[in-house]
Amino acid sequence: MLPDPFEDLDRDQTVRVLPRHLAGPGSVDFRAIWPFPFDDDWSLHQPSKEEGAVACSPCLRLRTGYVPDPNRRGHMQWITAAHRDPFGPATWQITSDATTPVELLGDVHSELLDLYLEDRHSDKDHLFQSQTSAQEAYVPLLAHGWRHTIKTDGTQTFLAPDALSGMQHQYDRTPSSDLAPSWRIWGGQPANPDWRVQFSPSTPVALVAAFTASLLSTEPLERTVKDIPFFTRHHVSIATTTAKQNKPFPPVATPPPRPAMSRTR
């Protein structure tokens, strides 16, 4: 087994680490993870820490929440849904464990806000008619050395060089889906991942691409030693360290810069 790079560090010490898929969840700061204009027209409801929080667009067609789920790691889950009819069922949704690195989710929601604003100020409908090809989400993985396998049923699997993160992509062949792709992404040991994210069919591919771009980013994530998953930490590299913390790790003020990414629409 590789040595533990945190063996000589205090558990409350703050470090900046890579790769992102093994960094641990980070601190929950709703206004960083949901970069929506709450001071303008979006709403944020936060009843209590135990109940999580919910954010909504003014049209009520976009809703995202951090809500209890006893079947998920951390007993909470992140869920984002879009509704063609604000009073009807979700057209597509993204679900993820509470243990998912929050910076990756922040980048997805930043892209979601971009799509929303672009639709709002034009005659486009990118939230429900994705113009981005599936390749934009997974070609960057191949460029970073991820392994690729494909089955005859159309299921593609992409595996990180350290085998501790992966993505599965499958086309739904039902007539109603118009061959819309569905995606599953995880980090940690494949048999028991630290976190999992799922994008349902009809989710705009631009949101999947935003997630994979953030996943591949070489911008280190700031964590306390105690928050980094134990069973994979010997695969983590320390970029820089900071002084020992006497108080709990504070919420991240803003998400890290997103890697530049072009969209084809």
pLDDT in tens, 185-240: 999 999 999 999 999 989 999 999 999 999 999 999 999 999 999 999 999 999 87
Burial of 260 (0-12, 13-18, 19+ CB in 10 A): exposed
Contact between 158 and 147 under an 8 Å Cβ cutoff? The reply is yes
Return the percentage of the chain with pLDDT > 70, whole number: 86
- What is the pLDDT averaged over residues 33-58? 92
Residues ≥6 apart with Cβ < 8 Å to 2 = 234, 235
Segment 111-120 mean pLDDT: 95
* SS (HEC) of the chain: CCCCCCCCCCCCEEEEEECHHHCCCCCCCHHHHCCCCCCCCCEEEEEECCCEEEEECCCCCEEEEEEECCCCHHHEEEEEEECCCCCCCCCEEEEEECCCCHHHHHHHHHHHHHHHHHHHCCCCCCCCCCCCCCHHHHHHHHHCCCEEEECCCCEEEEECCCCCEEEEEEECCCHHHCCCEEEEEEEEECCEEEEEEEECCCCCHHHHHHHHHHHHCCCCEEEEHHHCCHHHHHHCEEEEEEEECCCCCCCCCCCCCCCCCCCCC
Residue 153: pLDDT band by 50, 70, 90 thresholds? confident
In which residue are the tokens 């501790």 written?
Answer: 164
The pLDDT-based confidence of 73 (bands split at 50, 70, 90) is confident
Q: What pLDDT is recorded for position 243?
A: 53
The pLDDT score that the predictor gives to residue 26 is 96
Q: What pLDDT was estimated at residue 260?
A: 47
What's the token pair of residue 169?
Answer: 């992509």
Of 258, 227, 260, nearest to 245 by C-alpha is 227
Give me the chain's average pLDDT, please. Answer: 88
The pLDDT assigned to 3 comes to 81
**pLDDT confidence bin for 47, thresholds 50/70/90:** confident
The answer on pLDDT for 179 being more than 50 is no
Q: Considering the chain, what percentage of its residues have pLDDT values greater than 90?
A: 71
Res 48: pLDDT: 79
**At 91, is the pLDDT very low, low, confident or very high (cuts 50, 70, 90)?**
very high
- For the chain, which residues make up each domain, given as ranges? 13-27+100-244
Sign, CA torsion 65/68/72/75: positive
pLDDT score for 255: 44
Average pLDDT over residues 93-97: 96
State the pLDDT at residue 241. Answer: 63
Confidence at residue 256, expressed as pLDDT on a 0 to 100 scale: 47
Question: What's the average model confidence in pLDDT over 113-131?
Answer: 89
